[in-house]
Chains A and B, each alone.
Chain A
Amino acid sequence: MTAHDINLSRRSLLAGAGALVIGVNLPRGAKAQSGAAQAFRPVGGAAAFAPNAFVRVAADDSITVLVKHIEFGQGPFTGLATLVAEEMDADWSQMRAEHSPADVKLYANLAFGVQGTGGSTAIANSWEQMRKAGATARAMLVQAAADAWKVPAAEITIEKGVMKHASGKQSGFGAFAEAASKLQAPADAPLKQAANYRLIGKEGVVKRLDSADKSRGKAQFAIDISAPNMLTVVVARPPRFGGKVGSFDASAALKVKGVVDVKEIGSGIAVFATGMWPAIKGREALKVTWDESAAEKRGSRELIAEYRALSRTPGKSAGKHGDAEAVLAKAEKVIEAEYVFPFLAHAPMEPLDGYLEWNAQGALARFGSQFQTTEHQTIATILGLPPEKVQLETMLAGGSFGRRAQVSQHLAAELAMCAKAIGPNRPVKLVWTREDDLAGGYYRPLFLHRMRGAVKDGKITAWSNSIVGQSFFLGTPFEAMTVKDGIDAVMVEGAAELPYEIADFACEVHVPKVGVPTLWWRSVGHTHTAYAVEAFVDELLQAAGQDPVAGRLAMMGKEPRLAGVLKAVAELAQWKGPDAGNGRMRGVAAVESFGSFVAQIAEVSLEGGEPKVHKVWCAVDCGVAVNPDIVRAQMEGGIGFGLGHALYGEITLDAGRPVQANFDTYRSLRIHEMPAVEVTIVTSTEKPTGVGEPGVPPIGPAVANALARLGQMRPRQLPMVGGTV
């Protein structure tokens, strides 16, 4: 399974979700202008020049980039603005960014065919599109200046947003914005040669566009929305997955000061109030009897036992070459390991929320929408409005990690159901509490990997992996498109094919039916496959007497880029073997995900019996690194996110009910647990690939491999600390 296949499967997935357009060209011309320009709300003065769907130039010289990808931390505002600014030779200080409206014709993710963010695709699918948008704008502004100055356009240069001619004439863009808007857009404005880049890939010249507001409490998230007459809504949902409302008594809830109404909706009982506190108190006062006849009542313990038994039976083949079983049967020594991965919540810092106002004329939804096209359709359908009368405004969101990329559309649906239940002309803001979030399902699925391997003469000779876990596509309308021959590609990505040459190899998969809603979680299948593969390969190499770095490299002949990051990280950390010589040990892991290559080395000691990760070295190859500092930030954040969950994260089900209720029990990494991180970016001229997810997969196994050298077993069941099953 290559990253390319993944993108394809996601594209067909989303295209099948009711989407309309596959293969979108850069929209140009008057039609495209009016659509986007209409929805565009100027930030710092009206835009005088809108050469295409993405670029707005105002008379005050500011350039606003309309960003089709949601900004929830990974930096698309800054990244996509960089691509435009580069081609326009703009000064960074004149750049602004805001979310584009929901419009699949203009703003589809070119990897999906619909508007949406995910799979670390923002930069990759915008790379050409946004540079072309910038180049077009540039050409038109230059032409407008050339016409006015009566000089050939080719003689005009631009430096830091100032157009100049040898005659001494010079001007900013703003002065020619109006004139440029009257010109025909050129069909193919040339793109810059990489050698002439001033921003792309350069250090220190680009700063994030959103840092200042976010450091001052000024950034606006969906939870911050208010409107006259607005009601805040919280929903009481069934305590077990698959439960539904039996009966309820709202009389006490309705007596709570500030509670305005209580309505049953598809997902539970909605409490409408004048603010969050009365809504919460009203919900506490509800008396609900749940019908749990169809609910999932198995707990994590039961599921793990079932998965364990399944893993010992033949599954569906996800990858095979040679005959691993035959080699294992004859091997002098078979090494076995079973790895168990718990359910995990995404727990974005801003819980799920959204705002909706509507009446018979139309609707406006405002929230951190990650799949705009399908969410837009869902809202329109539930409200019974034609889609063109429903506006969707994407808000900044306080993290996602996959949680807002909803295959089921459940948040958009619940928001629309709340708005519909209370009736028109009564704006609603739906807010999930942290307890709702952690008990709300859509977890990274529980997985079990049973590994068996053999080594001979210092080499790994056989590898067998049996994977058991839920598919979050099985049982959805997408099943036919993502699951082939019973194999859900995203369950086995990273495990069905290894970057290591091993003669006899088999990977099998079992997909039990479990009634717990699950979802992709930052780095998707790699959240478990990378740990299983990288911990087990390390264990086999150790048994074979090989160095973790040299041993991996010896098997990576066909993986030059992954080998490249492994060499780079070894050099950065001055690798001399696992023993750091200071009582600490070092573990290594290298993983390709989403087309990017990341290797990490973690230096670990034991303190009070718990792993303490002191330092992580990280090498990344993501093709052209458009914004090196954002690449570094994503590696740092990915390492912290991956480490926190490997060490502490788990959602346990007890008889079907989630046990962890809030951050007191769903332990999150804190500042004193964050290692120092040093990142090196491997220079590359390949097309850029994403960095939002690829920093996550290697850290767990890197720590496990260090623990093995500290005399511990590589943790067989996550989390490493304080697991409750």
Chain B
Amino acid sequence: MAHTLKVNGATHSVDIDDDTPLLWALRDNLGLTGTKFGCGVAQCGACTVYVDGKPMRSCVTPVSTLEGREVTTIEAISGREADAVQKAWTAGDVPQCGYCQSGQVMSAVALLKEIKKPTDRDIDLAMNGNICRCATYARIRSAIHDAARTLEG
């Protein structure tokens, strides 16, 4: 059936089954491929998007639950935290294959919006749902600390 999805500020109508995960609606129907598929069962975080500003695993979020809610994807994140995180990611050469990094960045930006100066423990808690098979974790951790420092001003 037709579903109205509000994504990155624009409203779209897509004719797909109710149980279609947001992930596939974004990728296959809206052409927003920055959000990645890694597991399909909320285990890896590659598909992380914001729903009403909160990080969610889009692979297990059916489109039928999104009526009237706002979805933000990696393509549209902006603001101080997003800038700081993406700059730190580039400066620290965090990515290797890069496939998990959309999800990592989404989780990291959400963390810094919540906690200005995260401890290592805060980082563990916020980021341990995001798998990186290339194991770029050490750089992810330092980049988050670096981003927090630039946000301090």
Contacts and interface: CB of A to CB of B under 8 A. Distances in A.
Interface of A: 72-75, 207-208, 210-221, 223-224, 226, 232, 257-258, 274-278, 281, 347-351, 396-399, 401, 431, 433-434, 629-630, 633, 636-641, 643-644, 662-664, 668-672, 674, 676-677
Contacts of A212: 86, 90
Contacts of B95: 73, 208, 210-211, 214-215
B28 A211 contact: no
Nearest to B28: A275
A51 to B, nearest CB: 29
Nearest to B41: A662
B139 A349 contact: no
B2 interface: no
Contacts, number: 192
A257 to B, nearest CB: 6
B75 A217 contact: yes
A638 B135 CA distance: 8
Contact of B97 (A223, A348, A629): A348
Given A639-B135, A671-B124, A677-B138, A396 B98 contact: yes
A276 B101 contact: no
Nearest to A72: B97
Nearest to B86: A215
A618 to B, nearest CB: 11
Which 9 residue pairs spanning A and B have beta carbons closest together? A640-B135, A217-B34, A398-B99, A214-B98, A73-B96, A217-B74, A275-B28, A73-B97, A674-B137
A349 B97 contact: yes
A671 B21 contact: no
A637 B96 contact: yes
B139 A671 contact: no
B2 to A, nearest CB: 12
B30 to A, nearest CB: 11
Nearest to A208: B93
B68 interface: no
Interface in B80-124: 85-86, 89-91, 93-102, 105, 123-124
B27 A276 contact: yes
A274 B132 CA distance: 29
A404 to B, nearest CB: 11
Contacts of A663: 38-39, 41, 43-44, 131
B133 A347 contact: yes
Given A277-B24, A349-B134, A670-B128, A633 B96 contact: yes
Contact of A216 (B34, B43, B99): B34
A671 B74 CA distance: 21
B47 to A, nearest CB: 11
B135 A277 contact: no
Contacts of A211: 89-90, 93-95
A257 B97 CA distance: 34
Contacts of B33: 217, 220, 223-224, 226
A415 B74 CA distance: 30
A350 B131 contact: no
6 contacts: A73-B98, A257-B17, A276-B28, A349-B97, A398-B36, A630-B93
Contacts of A257: 16-17
B93 A399 contact: no
Interface in B40-76: 40-41, 43-44, 46, 73-75
A598 B93 CA distance: 22
B136 A664 contact: no
Given A399-B96, A637-B96, 5 more contacts: A72-B97, A212-B90, A434-B40, A663-B131, A671-B128
Contact of B105 (A215, A396, A397): A215
B123 A399 contact: no
Nearest to B127: A671
Contacts of A216: 34, 74, 86, 105
A348 B91 CA distance: 25
A427 to B, nearest CB: 14
B148 interface: no
Contacts of A637: 96, 134-136
A668 B40 contact: no
Nearest to A630: B93
Given A217-B35, A223-B36, A348 B133 contact: yes
Q: B75, B130, B137, B141 — which one has the most chain A CB atoms within 10 A of its CB? A: B137
B37 A641 contact: no
A182 to B, nearest CB: 38
B140 interface: yes
A431 B152 CA distance: 43
B131 A670 contact: yes
A128 to B, nearest CB: 26
A349 B99 contact: yes
Interface string B1-37: 0000000000000001101110010011101011111
B41 A350 contact: no
Contact of B17 (A73, A215, A220, A277): A277
Q: A221, A232, A671 — which one has the most chain B CB atoms within 10 A of its CB? A: A671
A433 B101 contact: no
B46 to A, nearest CB: 7
A644 B90 contact: no
Contact of B135 (A214, A347, A351, A641): A641
Contacts of B102: 217
A288 B23 CA distance: 28
A662 B43 contact: yes
Nearest to B125: A672
B97 A671 contact: no
B149 to A, nearest CB: 18
B88 to A, nearest CB: 9
Q: A73, A210, A257 — which one has the most chain B CB atoms within 10 A of its CB? A: A73
B124 A397 contact: no
Contacts of A638: 135
Contacts of A630: 93
Nearest to A75: B96
Contact of A276 (B37, B105, B130): B37
Contacts of A399: 96-97, 99, 133-134
A388 B68 CA distance: 52
Q: B39, B86, B89 — which one has the most chain A CB atoms within 10 A of its CB? A: B39
A397 B85 CA distance: 23
Nearest to B95: A214
B138 A349 contact: no
